Structure formats: C-alpha cells, structure tokens
Chain A
Amino acid sequence: MVETYCVVTFESTQHSLMFEKLLKDNKLGVKLMPVPRQLSSSCGTAAYVSCDEKDRILELTKINNIPISEFHILEVSKSGSILSKFMKK
C-alpha cells in the first residue's frame, strides 16, 4: 500500500513560521516538521499539509507574499517492513 502526503519546503525557518501562521489563520491543517530525508540531507524545517488543499495553499502564499521553496508530493510505502522503506528511498 502506498500513502501519499504533501510537504512544503522553505529557504528559511522564518518563512516556515510565517507559512504556518497563514494556514492556521485560514483554518487549514498544517504541522511543521524536519525536512523528510527523501527530500534533503539538510535538517531544516518543512510543513506537512493536506494534498487536497494544494491549489488553495499556493494561492494563499502568492496573495500574502509568503515565500516558499517547493511543494512536494511524496509517496511512502506502508507495507510495514523497515527494509522496504529503505529500498524505496
């Protein structure tokens, strides 16, 4: 089974905090977290968001001038075995 989730990355920590506030103010789900390993070897801050809201989120960041780096759609195998996760990466 494959699970899809969406992550937004930023150029600075402050941008991620501004993004979090923007989404919360607009009653959209958001959770800050370390950048997923698949995306980067850095340990910066990213935001976990709902994939269904992609268009709305991108529109909001544009209107409010919140700089984001990229909107990523990630697929994670949920087959259970740790090995299969490593293979996927």
Chain B
Amino acid sequence: MNSKLKMFISGGVIGLVGVVLLILGNPGNMGLCIACFWRDITGALGLHRAGVVQYIRPEIIGIIFGSAIMAFIGGDFKSKGGSSPFVRFVLGFFLMIGALVFLGCPLRMIFRLANGDLNALIGLFGYVSGIFIGIQFLKKGYSLGKSIEQSQIAKYIMPIFGLVLLIFLVIRPAFILFSTEGPGSMAAPVIAALVGGLIVGALLQRTRICTAGGFRDLMLIKDTHFLFGLLGIFVFALAGNLIFNFDSFNLGFANQPIAHTNHLWNFLGMALVGLCSSLLGGCPIRQTVLASQGDSDAGITVLGLVMGAAFSHNFGLASSGAGPTSNGQIAVIIGLVVVSIIGYAVTRKSQLKVK
C-alpha cells in the first residue's frame, strides 16, 4: 500500500505540474504532451514546415536533464543498447503517427480527460485495446532481445542533445523556427517550463511511471503498482483544473481545444499508440526518460518519434480541430498492419528460439 501511495503522490505532482504549465500559457489541455512537444521541436529544427507547431519546448529539455541527473544520483546512468534498434525506430515512427491522428500522446490523453474532454475517453478505450493486442504478442514470447552494455559515450548523447536544444532556445539562431501563431506560439515561460520538466523527469526516472506499463500490468499480471501513478496524474490534474482553472473546464465532446470529435479515428489512432507502446515496452514519455539515462534503444525510439512527426506534417497525416485527414487515416491503417506484422514476426522468431 505504501508503495502505491508513493506512486499516486508522484503521479499527482506530475498532474499538478501539467495544470500549472497550462495556466502559465501552454496550449489548451497541453500542460504536458510528450508527442506534441517532440513534434514542436521537430518543427523548430525545420524537419517539418507546419508553421503553427514549431517551438523548442523547454519541458523536454527539463525532462532530459531531470531524468539524467536522477539516474546519475541513483546509479542508473548507464550506456545500454543493442535490442532491435531499427525495429524500435519503426515502432516509434508509427506511434507518433497514431498520436498525431488522435492529437496527443497518452499523457496528454490523461490531461485532456482531466479537463472534461470526453474524446480522450474514446482515445483511452483505443489505447487500452492496443495494449491488449500487444499483450497477446508478449504472452506468446514477443521480446526485442536483451540490451547489452555500450560504449560510455552513448549515455551522454541525449543529455548533450538536450544541452544543444537549450542553447538554440536561448540564442534563437535564424535557422531555428519559432511559431508566431497557433499552438506553437503558446507557451509557459521558459524557466517555469524547464523547472516543470526537471521535476517531471526526475520523478518519472525514480518511479518508472509509464502509461503503457500501468495498463499492461493491470491486464497481464493483475498488478496495480504503476496504475496508481496514472490515477495520481488524473486525480490531481482534475482537482487542479477544477480549483485553479475552472473557466477552461468543459465536460463533453464538442469544442475541446486542439481535439476533434471523430470517434473512430480517435480510437484507432490511440490503438496504434497502445500497440506500439506495449511492443516497445514504454510510452513516449518513458522512452524519453530511458533515452536520457543512457538507453540507446530508447534514444533510437525517440528519433523514430521525431521522424514520425516530420512525416506526419509533411504528408498531411496529422489531424486538426476539423478532424482527421484521409492521408492520416490511411497511415494509421498502414501502421496497424505493419506493426502487427512486426509483432508476429518477432514473436515467431522467439518461439523458435525457446523450442
């Protein structure tokens, strides 16, 4: 019980950080969203040219540093890798496409739900369904293989990338793009966002809270340890929104900020995210944290997310408030097929090994 309470409170702090960042200026129901924030960074680097979603989100920099520092203190800062990197890249790529059709990663899904957006409930059903399908592969032996120790330099890559992003954010060179309108232009003050990210990164590294892990363990081994972290995020974010942010609380489907009401594609988009997350062993935020503590496989996954974000906007796959695009719908179907084939092929190979 004690450990679950700890998870609940840690999640609660993350929920409150999200509410504070929302009040301080982040886009609607986007106090924290790992997929959206990586997408904004992708845009700021010029890898996609959607002018309304380009910004170097300090929250990501904070999460990288917070995780790396906490891992260093706890002795978890280690170079690891070599567990099917290219497969992980592809899974990260399609994960991002699914997230941008729904309009948010699983973390933002929780924050959307905590501000009354019921479209996120449809997304949650999709997400849990996707994880359920992933679990069937896990049960039959799916494993991307054991990671092994890598060269010492590997663990510094993500923190150095975070530092480079911070430098770009501060000196704003001409080749870095910053939105002047739209969600990319809406942001909490840099210092607040950095500090919020630091707190969230440190907590996530310590607690290992993962949106995919929470539901996976509930369904697979009937364990609620990680789920209490997710409940903490939801309950505290809901309470925070009701107390400090009541004007923006809007229970229902229609007129939600940066969301659409197409149930089918909200469901399927998040189903793709759930399937990819369970096959990767972690949702986007967990991948970001692991990458920051020296896990090269997670680092490659993050690059997959970035690549997915670039393609999503370059090919018109990402949804808007008006709804999903037909290109996006086709991409989600392709994603579900490709990822299922990956799940099947990896499972089949490991079954042969066990025999």
Contacts and interface: CB of A to CB of B under 8 A. Distances in A.
Contact of A45 (B6, B221, B286): B221
Given A41-B208, A43-B281, A34 B213 contact: yes
Contacts, number: 61
A42 B295 CA distance: 10
A41 B77 CA distance: 10
A2 B326 CA distance: 61
Contacts of A11: 143, 146
Chain B contact residues, majority secondary structure:
helix
A13 B213 contact: no
Contact of B286 (A43, A44, A67, A82): A43
A24 B131 CA distance: 26
B2 interface: yes
A12 B286 contact: no
Interface residues of B, number: 31
A73 interface: no
B280 to A, nearest CB: 12
Interface string A25-50: 00000001110010001111100000
22 contacts: A11-B146, A12-B138, A12-B141, A12-B143, A14-B139, A14-B142, A14-B143, A14-B354, A16-B221, A32-B220, A33-B221, A33-B223, A34-B213, A34-B225, A37-B206, A41-B74, A41-B208, A41-B290, A43-B208, A43-B286, A67-B354, A82-B2
Given A34-B213, A41-B293, 20 more contacts: A12-B138, A12-B143, A12-B350, A13-B142, A14-B139, A14-B350, A14-B354, A17-B139, A34-B226, A37-B206, A41-B71, A41-B74, A41-B76, A41-B290, A43-B210, A43-B226, A43-B281, A43-B286, A67-B354, A82-B6
Interface of B: 2, 6, 71, 74, 76, 138-143, 146, 205-206, 208, 210, 213, 217, 220-223, 225-226, 281-282, 286, 290, 293, 350, 354
